[in-house]
Amino acid sequence: MPLTRSDVLDATFALVSEEGLAAVSMRAVASRLGVTPMALYRHIGDKQGLLDGVVERLLLEIPLPSPELPWRDRLHALAAGIRALAHRHPDVFPLLFQRPATTPAALGARDAAYAALREAGVAEGTIPRLERALSTLVLGFAASEAGGRFGAEAVADYDWIETLVLDRLVNT
């Protein structure tokens, strides 16, 4: 049976997990699939297309919180899911800063945040701006934690600032 885009991404993700982002090459992925490098181009475009596929898979790993939870717990759970993702894939995570946040795979987490903010009583016109601010906040912390910008014993205080922002949300 012919190769599929999904096969290629499976192989890429396995390679990333085992040997890191630096080990991802068209040739290495192809060899894992028992195929010529050129066979990949039909399915994922070029190497940038391959990386886009990896980001897509990454975003789908973020667990969406149960809608029954209070809005504040849902936002906290989303943030925790993103930070856990960064710790599982520290070397791939920075890719999220260079790719648009509007890809189909990113919509799940974004819409969950929208719904929580709506329920928190945030004005409809403010929700998108606020979601952008919050997601940027979480991404920045997750990347710093996972990239080891600070030593293990000197982590940045994410919870402190999350509480601060969410408290302010309640009082407005």
Give contact residues for a copy of itself (rule: CB under 8 A). 94, 96-102, 128-130, 132-133, 135-137, 139-141, 143-144, 147-151, 154-158, 160-161, 164-165, 168
Positions 138 through 167 that interact with DNA (CB under 7 A): none
Question: Considering the complex, what minimum distance in angstroms separates the CB of residue 35 from a copy of itself?
Answer: 26
Which of the listed partners (a copy of itself, DNA, none) does 36 bind, with a CB threshold of 5 to 8 Å by partner kind?
DNA
Question: Considering the complex, what minimum distance in angstroms separates the CB of residue 6 from DNA?
Answer: 12
Dist. CA 32–CA 23, nearest whole Å: 12
CA proximity to 12, closest of 54, 55, 46: 54
Dist. CA 39–CA 71, nearest whole Å: 47
Q: Is 42 exposed, middle or buried (0-12, 13-18, 19+ CB in 10 A)?
A: exposed
Tokens of 74: 């849902």
Dist. CA 149–CA 50, nearest whole Å: 27
Q: What is residue 81's three-state secondary structure?
A: helix
By the rule CB under 7 A, 20 interacts with DNA: no
Contacting DNA (CB under 7 A), which of 6, 17, 25, 103?
A: 25
Which of the listed partners (DNA, a copy of itself, none) does 156 bind, with a CB threshold of 5 to 8 Å by partner kind?
a copy of itself
Question: Considering the complex, what minimum distance in angstroms separates the CB of residue 118 from DNA?
Answer: 41
Which of the listed partners (DNA, a copy of itself, none) does 35 bind, with a CB threshold of 5 to 8 Å by partner kind?
DNA
The CA–CA distances, whole Å, from 61 to 7, 52, 78, 148 equal: 17, 15, 11, 22
Dist. CA 37–CA 116, nearest whole Å: 45
Of 69 and 164, nearer to a copy of itself (C-beta) is 164
Question: Considering the complex, what minimum distance in angstroms separates the CB of residue 98 from a copy of itself?
Answer: 5
Question: Considering the complex, what minimum distance in angstroms separates the CB of residue 120 from DNA?
Answer: 44
